[in-house]
């Protein structure tokens, strides 16, 4: 069931070659310079990878979530930043397609699929991460629209986005019932880019603050009314968590391949360290866990394509894959020894990149809560 058909294999091979030829040679520079790889992003658009899950009227190929997850894994083998940029684009397209009016869908979504327009989701605040209902950014009704006031942080694409889906409340006393979604353009008065976040890993996504100082959004750009905003902002979580799981597998696969090669080449105690049982067992455990995580991720993607209930499957895949990535990369660094501890080593970057996957799109603790609730509700 989870094997790749011929079409998906072709996509995988095309992306794998692109990663080998284009992404991997630039991944270190993306990390060191912490600059968004615009040329690579445009190439993703030209290859049809940014639009792959869109329907034909919006310039897409109507590809499955399963195929998209395979692309996510392959991109993450080369660069977590590139893979995450690819994922965020899909999630934002999905939100707009589900919520925006037809005029805005036709205007923005095809351009996003070509990499010409970049959309961010402005949700996280200084005191709100997983607790979305506690957001403070306010939307005050005025003639013809709303004025947004508040600050968001750790926003992917904050420094480069053309539009942003802003999660804001019309009345904090209403909790989640007061939350709506607003589509703001970066050219609007009162739309400001704040400080850039200096991150430990997944650098190059222009992550930072967005500040709204009475930023006007017209009525038709309120894409989810109060009471619906939280539910609709969280609607992308299933796809996002599948993406996070696939990226985790890609990072783990890259670390495993580096370790396998290093173990064959590195000599100690009279021969390659691959001859040592301690190293062999670490490599075996890496392979087993990666394969298990890959199967769980593909099962979750398959469930989404089949429109089956998938909350537990997605949470389990994201939890397992993100945890295994951390373990695989840690063991990979151990195999590399001092060579892996150097900032010049690829494994050092992978080590830093892997850490955030236990936080993004719901922490490991949140995933366990989700899983337990699903089990107890059965």
Residue 106 falls in the annotated catalytic set: no
d(CA 211, CA 99): 23
Element (H, E) at 239: helix 237-265
Return all residues near 269 (Cβ < 8 A) that are at least 6 apart.
276
d(CA 302, CA 97): 21
Region for 280 from its dihedrals, namely left if φ exceeds 0, alpha if ψ lies in -120 to 50, beta otherwise: alpha
Angle at 76 between CA 74 and CA 77, to 5 degrees: 65
d(CA 214, CA 189): 8
Return all residues near 218 (Cβ < 8 A) that are at least 6 apart.
144, 145
Alpha carbon of residue 36 to chain centroid: 15
Which of 73, 313, 316, 361 is an active site residue?
361
Which residues does the annotation mark as catalytic? 361
């Amino acid at each position: 069931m989870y094997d790749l058909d011929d079409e998906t294999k072709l996509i995988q091979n095309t992306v794998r070659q692109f990663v080998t030829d284009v992404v991997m040679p630039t991944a270190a520079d993306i990390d060191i310079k912490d600059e968004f790889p615009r040329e690579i992003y445009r190439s993703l658009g030209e290859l049809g990878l940014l639009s792959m899950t869109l329907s034909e009227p919006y310039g897409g190929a109507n590809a499955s979530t399963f195929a998209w997850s395979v692309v996510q894994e392959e991109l993450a083998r080369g660069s977590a930043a590139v893979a995450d940029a690819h994922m965020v684009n899909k999630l934002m397209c999905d939100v707009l397609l589900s919520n925006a009016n037809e005029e805005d869908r036709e205007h923005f979504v095809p351009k996003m699929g070509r990499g010409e327009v970049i959309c961010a989701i402005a949700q996280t605040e200084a005191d709100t991460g997983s607790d979305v209902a506690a957001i403070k950014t306010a939307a005050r009704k005025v003639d013809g629209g709303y004025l947004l006031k508040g600050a968001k942080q750790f926003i992917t694409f904050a420094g480069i986005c053309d539009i942003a889906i802003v999660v804001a409340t019309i009345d904090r006393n209403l909790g989640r019932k007061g939350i709506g979604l607003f589509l703001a353009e970066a050219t609007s008065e009162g739309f400001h880019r704040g400080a850039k976040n200096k991150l430990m890993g997944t650098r190059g996504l222009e992550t930072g603050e967005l500040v709204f100082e009475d930023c006007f959004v017209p009525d038709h750009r309120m894409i989810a009314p109060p009471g619906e905003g939280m539910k609709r902002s969280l609607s992308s979580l299933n796809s996002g968590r599948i993406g996070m799981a696939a990226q985790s597998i890609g990072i783990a696969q890259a670390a495993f391949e580096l370790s396998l090669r290093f173990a064959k080449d590195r000599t100690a105690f009279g021969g390659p360290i691959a001859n040592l049982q301690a190293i062999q067992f670490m490599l075996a455990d890496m392979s087993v866990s990666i394969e298990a995580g890959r199967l769980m991720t593909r099962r979750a993607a398959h469930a989404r394509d089949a429109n089956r209930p998938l909350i537990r499957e997605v949470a389990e895949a994201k939890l397992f894959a993100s945890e295994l990535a951390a373990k695989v990369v840690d063991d990979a660094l151990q195999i590399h020894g001092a060579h892996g501890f150097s900032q010049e080593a690829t494994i050092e970057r992978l080590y830093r990149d892997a850490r955030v996957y236990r936080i993004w799109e719901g922490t490991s603790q949140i995933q366990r809560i989700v899983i337990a609730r699903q089990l107890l509700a059965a």
